[in-house]
C-alpha cells in the first residue's frame, strides 16, 4: 500500500469511525462462527431445539414448565415488537458526519457544531414516509421525513425535518386531525401508503391552510427517486443566538450533491409492487459501494428587527421564506458513510425530539414547533419507555449527569448517596452559561391569553400560487395528473367538489382541468387573480448537480454466450471510474462465456440476473435501471434475448443523462 493511499484510508476510516460509532461498539455483540449460545443470564445452552419433556424417547410426552431455556426463548419472542411510530413508521437510517466549512455562522450563533470548522460531528439520519405502516412500500406518493441527530460535544441536537419546506397545518393542535384524516380510514383500515381517499381530501378541502403543502406533495416532490436525491428542510422557524446574546430567526436547508430527482408516477407505482424496499436498498447500495450520499447545509436568517417586514408571518410553517427576500447561506456539508449493523436497535429505536437543541440554538414562537416540542418528547415514552434517551443510539457522546432516577430500563449506575439538589457536596450542580449551561434568550412577552392565530396566518393561497407558477410545464402536468388521480379515488362527491373549488384559488387552468377530470365543479372564472410571481428555486429542476454525473446510476449490460469480453470489461471499468454500478444480465443467472471460451468451462462472466423468454422473470427490472446497454460487438449474441422488447428501450426520464454519457463513451 503506498503511503498516499494509506493516509487516505486512515482519513476515511476516521470519518467512518466517528465518536458515536465507537460509542456504539460498547454495546455491539460480535457474532462469529465461534460464538456459542447462552441464555440471557449467561448460562451456556446445550439444546435449543427440544423443549424439556417427560418422554420415553419414542413418544412425545408433556412439555415441562420448568424448562427455563425454552420459556425464555418463547418469552423473548413474544415481546419482540414495540409500537410503531404513530406517523413516519416506515423508514431507514444511516450514520455519517457533519462539518462546517468555516466560522461564518458565528455572526448568528455560538453553537460550535455550526461554527467550528475543526470539528467533525457524528450524525444519524432517518428517512421515512409518513402515512404508511412499517411494512408499506417505499415509493408511494407522500412526504418524506428527514430526521437528523447531531451528536455534538455539547449534547444532542435533533433537527427533525421533511423533504418539503412547508407543513399542512399552522398550529400543532390540528396535528391529530390531519394525521387521522390521512391515515387509513377507521372503518376498514384502508388505504395503506396513500392519501388518495375521501378523508384526506375532505380535510384538506375544509382546511385551506394546507393548500400550499398539498401542491408540493402532489408535485414530483411527492415521489422522490432516492433518499439521496431529496432536499431537506427544517421547516419550522428556529432561532440562533450568538456570543453577544443577539438572536436571529432561521430556517435550515439541506441540498443533495446529486441534485433533486423524482420518479415519474408510473415508475413509482410499478416499483411499489416490484420492489417495495427500493429506497432503503438504494441507500444501502450507495453507502456500501463507497459513493457516500452528501448534502450541503445552509441557513436563511432574519434579524429580529425585520421579523414583521414580510407579507407573511415568518413563524407560519405553511410558508417558505422566498430566497430572493432571504438569501441562503451555505455553511457546511454532511455525508452518510455507514450503514447500520442491526436495524432494530439503531433505526427502530432512534428517537428524535425537536426540543433537543444545544446552546446557541433556540426556538421561536412558531405555533407548530411549540406543539412539536411537547409531542415528540411525550410520544417516545409510549414507544420506548421513559429511559429512551439512554438507549445506545440515542445517548449523547458527552457526559450526562443529573438527579433523574429509576424508571423501566434504567442503565446508569450513580455512585454516592445524593440524588437531589442542593446537597452538601454540591454534586450535580447547575452549570453557569459562561461554563456552557443552556440559557434561554431573554424576551419581553406581553399579551392577552386567548386561542387565536396571528393576523398574517389568515392568508393561504399566495404561496401555493407562487409554487405552482414556478414549476416547469411538465411539472405542472404531473401535478394536475396527480391531483386528478387522487381525487378520482374519492367516491364522496362533496370531497372532489370542495377541492376543485379550493384549486380555483390557486390557478384557474389547474382547477378547470382537475374538475373536468374528476367530475368536480368546473369554474367559470378564477376565484382570485393569479399574482403571476415565480421563484425558480422552488422547482426541483433548479437543483441539478453542479457537474453532470452518473455516480450511483445503475447500468445493466446485456450479455450472451459469445459476447465480447474486452468490450464489456472496458465499459464496466469506465462506468466504475465514474462511480456508476453495472449489472450483468444474461440468458441465465451464473456464468456466461465470452467469444473463444467453451461453454461450461473457462472463466466467463457471472450474470447477476437472467433475462429469457419472459421479461417479467428478470429480477433487475427496467424500472430499477437508468440504462440497459447492448454493446456493439455483443449485440448479435444478445439479440435472441431481446425477443421480449419489454425491458428494452426503457430509458426512464430520470435516466436520460446516463444515456447521453454512455453514448459518448461508446462512440
Ligand atoms: C414541521 C412539521 C413537521 C415535521 C417536519 C415533522 C417531521 C417528522 C419526522 C421526520 C418524523 C419521523 C422521525 C423519525 O424518523 O423517527 C416525525 C415523527 C413524528 N411526528 Fe412529526 N413532523 C411535523 C409536525 C408534527 C407535529 C405538529 C406533531 C405533533 C403535534 C408531530 C408529531 C410527531 C410524532 C408523534 C412522531 C412520531 C415520533 C416517534 O414515535 O419517534 N409532528 N415527524
The DSSP annotation for 73-98 comes to: HHHHHHT---PPPSS--SEEEEEEEE
Q: Which residues contact 612 (CB under 8 A, 6 or more apart)?
A: 587, 588, 641
Summarised one tens digit per residue, pLDDT across range 567-606 is 999 999 999 999 999 999 998 899 999 999 999 888 999 9
**548 burial type by CB count under 10 A (0-12 exposed, 13-18 middle, 19+ buried):** exposed
The grid cell for 1 is 500500500
Helix (H) or strand (E) holding 605: strand 605-607
Ligand 1, atom 5: closest residue by C-alpha: 161
How far does residue 568's CA lie from ligand 1's centre (Å)? 48
How far does residue 23's CA lie from ligand 1's centre (Å)? 27
In angstroms, the CA 64 to CA 216 distance is 60
How far does residue 87's CA lie from ligand 1's centre (Å)? 7
161 lines ligand 1 (CB under 6 A): yes
302 lines ligand 1 (CB under 6 A): no
**Strand ranges of the sheet holding 554-558, from the earlier edge strand across to the other edge:** 609-610, 581-586, 554-558, 627-629
pTM above 0.75, yes or no: yes
376 lines ligand 1 (CB under 6 A): yes
Which pLDDT score is estimated for 571?
Answer: 93
Summarised one tens digit per residue, pLDDT across range 245-289 is 999 999 999 999 999 999 999 999 999 999 999 999 999 999 999
Annotated binding site for heme: 376
Q: Which long-range contacts (CB under 8 A, 24 or more apart) does 66-71 make?
A: 68/39, 69/39, 69/45
Strands 590-592 and 605-607: antiparallel
Tell me the DSSP string of 4-24: HHHHHHHHHHHHHS-HHHHHH
Which pLDDT score is estimated for 636?
Answer: 72
Counting from 1 in the atom list of ligand 1, the atom nearest the Cα of 371 is: 30
Which pLDDT score is estimated for 667?
Answer: 27
Task: Tell me the three state secondary structure of residue 41.
Answer: coil
Distance of CA 240 to the CA centre of its chain: 25
Pocket mutation for ligand 1, best pick of 351, 376, 381, 388 (most atoms within 8 Å of C-beta): 376
Looking at the chain, how many residues does it have?
667
**80 burial type by CB count under 10 A (0-12 exposed, 13-18 middle, 19+ buried):** exposed
Pocket mutation for ligand 1, best pick of 209, 351, 375 (most atoms within 8 Å of C-beta): 375
Counting from 1 in the atom list of ligand 1, the atom nearest the Cα of 160 is: 10
Summarised one tens digit per residue, pLDDT across range 550-578 is 999 999 898 999 999 999 999 999 999 99
* pLDDT of 113 over the 90 cut: yes
How far does residue 256's CA lie from ligand 1's centre (Å)? 22
How far does residue 600's CA lie from ligand 1's centre (Å)? 56
Counting from 1 in the atom list of ligand 1, the atom nearest the Cα of 86 is: 37
In angstroms, the CA 369 to CA 19 distance is 30
In angstroms, the CA 342 to CA 28 distance is 10
Q: How many other C-beta atoms can be found within 10 angstroms of the C-beta atom of residue 650?
A: 15
* E-assigned strand segments in 35-143: 91-100, 121-129
Ligand 1, atom 40: closest residue by C-alpha: 85
Domain definitions of the chain by residue range: 41-80, 91-180+227-390, 554-666
User: Which residues are designated catalytic?
Assistant: 88, 162
Report the candidate in 124, 117, 103 with the shortest Cα–Cα distance to residue 18.
Answer: 124
Instruction: Grade residue 10 by pLDDT with cuts at 50, 70 and 90.
Output: low
Instruction: Grade residue 9 by pLDDT with cuts at 50, 70 and 90.
Output: low
Fold of 91-180+227-390: Catalase HpII,  Chain A, domain 1 (2.40.180)
Which pLDDT score is estimated for 16?
Answer: 84
In angstroms, the CA 426 to CA 422 distance is 6
Annotated binding site: 376
Ligand 1, atom 16: closest residue by C-alpha: 351
Amino acid at each position: 500500500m503506498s503511503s498516499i493511499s494509506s493516509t487516505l484510508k486512515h482519513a476515511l476510516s476516521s470519518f467512518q469511525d466517528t465518536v458515536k460509532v465507537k460509542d456504539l461498539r460498547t454495546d455491539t455483540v460480535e457474532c462469529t462462527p465461534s460464538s456459542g449460545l447462552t441464555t440471557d443470564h449467561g448460562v451456556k445452552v446445550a439444546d435449543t431445539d427440544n423443549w424439556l419433556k417427560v418422554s420415553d424417547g419414542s413418544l412425545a410426552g408433556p412439555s415441562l414448565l420448568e424448562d427455563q431455556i425454552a420459556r425464555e426463548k418463547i418469552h423473548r419472542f413474544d415481546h419482540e415488537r414495540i409500537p410503531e411510530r404513530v406517523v413516519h413508521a416506515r423508514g431507514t437510517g444511516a450514520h455519517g458526519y457533519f462539518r462546517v466549512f468555516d466560522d461564518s455562522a458565528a455572526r448568528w450563533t455560538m453553537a460550535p457544531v455550526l461554527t467550528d470548522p475543526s470539528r467533525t460531528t457524528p450524525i444519524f439520519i432517518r428517512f421515512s414516509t409518513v402515512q404508511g405502516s412499517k411494512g408499506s412500500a417505499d415509493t408511494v406518493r407522500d412526504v418524506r421525513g428527514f430526521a437528523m441527530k447531531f451528536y455534538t460535544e455539547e449534547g444532542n441536537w435533533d433537527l427533525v425535518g421533511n423533504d418539503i419546506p412547508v407543513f399542512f397545518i399552522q398550529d400543532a393542535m390540528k396535528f391529530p386531525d390531519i394525521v387521522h384524516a390521512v391515515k387509513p380510514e377507521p372503518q376498514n383500515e384502508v388505504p395503506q401508503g396513500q392519501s388518495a381517499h375521501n378523508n384526506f381530501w375532505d380535510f384538506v378541502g375544509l382546511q385551506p391552510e394546507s393548500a400550499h403543502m398539498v401542491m408540493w406533495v402532489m408535485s414530483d416532490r411527492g415521489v422522490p427517486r432516492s433518499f439521496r436525491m431529496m432536499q431537506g428542510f427544517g421547516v419550522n422557524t428556529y432561532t440562533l443566538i450568538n456570543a453577544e446574546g443577539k438572536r436571529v430567526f432561521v430556517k435550515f436547508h439541506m441540498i443533495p450533491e446529486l441534485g433533486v430527482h423524482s420518479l415519474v408516477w408510473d415508475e413509482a407505482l410499478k416499483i411499489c409492487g416490484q420492489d417495495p424496499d427500493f429506497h432503503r436498498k438504494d441507500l444501502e447500495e450507495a453507502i456500501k459501494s463507497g459513493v457516500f450520499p452528501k448534502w450541503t447545509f445552509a441557513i436563511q436568517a432574519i434579524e429580529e428587527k425585520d421579523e414583521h417586514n414580510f407579507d407573511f408571518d415568518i413563524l407560519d410553517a405553511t410558508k417558505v421564506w422566498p430566497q430572493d427576500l432571504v438569501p441562503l447561506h451555505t455553511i457546511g456539508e454532511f455525508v452518510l458513510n455507514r450503514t447500520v449493523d442491526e436495524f432494530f436497535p439503531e433505526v427502530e429505536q432512534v428517537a428524535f425530539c425537536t426540543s433537543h437543541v444545544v446552546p446557541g440554538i433556540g426556538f421561536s414562537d412558531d405555533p407548530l414547533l411549540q406543539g412539536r416540542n411537547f409531542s415528540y418528547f411525550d410520544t417516545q415514552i409510549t414507544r420506548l419507555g421513559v429511559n429512551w434517551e439512554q438507549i445506545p443510539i440515542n445517548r449523547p457522546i458527552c457526559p450526562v449527569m443529573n438527579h433523574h432516577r429509576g424508571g423501566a430500563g434504567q442503565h446508569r449506575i450513580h455512585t454516592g448517596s445524593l440524588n437531589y439538589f442542593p446537597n452538601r457536596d454540591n454534586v450535580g450542580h447547575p452549570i453557569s452559561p459562561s461554563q456552557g449551561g443552556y440559557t434561554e434568550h431573554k424576551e419581553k412577552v406581553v399579551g392577552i391569553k386567548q386561542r387565536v392565530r396571528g393576523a398574517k396566518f389568515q392568508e393561504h393561497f399566495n404561496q401555493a400560487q407562487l409554487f405552482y407558477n414556478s414549476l416547469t410545464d411538465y411539472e405542472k402536468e404531473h401535478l394536475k395528473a396527480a391531483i386528478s388521480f387522487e381525487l378520482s379515488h374519492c367516491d364522496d362527491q362533496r370531497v372532489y367538489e370542495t377541492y376543485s373549488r379550493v384549486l380555483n384559488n390557486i390557478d384557474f387552468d389547474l382547477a378547470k382541468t382537475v374538475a373536468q377530470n374528476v367530475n368536480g365543479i368546473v369554474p367559470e372564472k378564477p376565484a382570485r387573480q393569479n399574482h403571476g410571481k415565480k421563484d425558480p428555486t422552488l422547482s426541483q429542476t433548479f437543483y441539478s448537480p453542479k457537474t453532470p454525473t452518473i455516480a450511483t446510476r445503475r447500468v445493466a449490460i446485456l450479455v450472451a454466450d459469445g459476447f465480447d469480453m474486452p468490450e464489456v470489461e472496458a465499459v464496466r471499468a469506465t462506468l466504475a471510474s465514474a462511480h456508476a454500478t453495472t449489472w450483468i444480465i444474461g440468458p441465465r443467472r451464473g456464468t456466461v462465456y465470452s467469444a473463444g471460451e467453451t461453454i461450461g468451462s473457462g472463466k466467463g462472466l457471472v450474470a447477476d440476473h437472467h433475462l429469457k423468454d419472459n421479461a417479467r422473470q428478470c429480477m433487475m427490472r427496467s424500472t430499477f435501471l437508468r440504462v440497459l446497454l447492448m454493446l456493439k460487438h455483443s449485440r448479435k449474441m444478445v439479440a435472441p434475448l431481446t425477443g421480449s422488447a419489454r425491458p428494452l428501450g426503457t430509458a426512464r426520464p430520470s435516466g436520460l443523462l446516463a444515456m447521453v454519457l454512455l453514448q459518448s463513451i461508446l462512440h
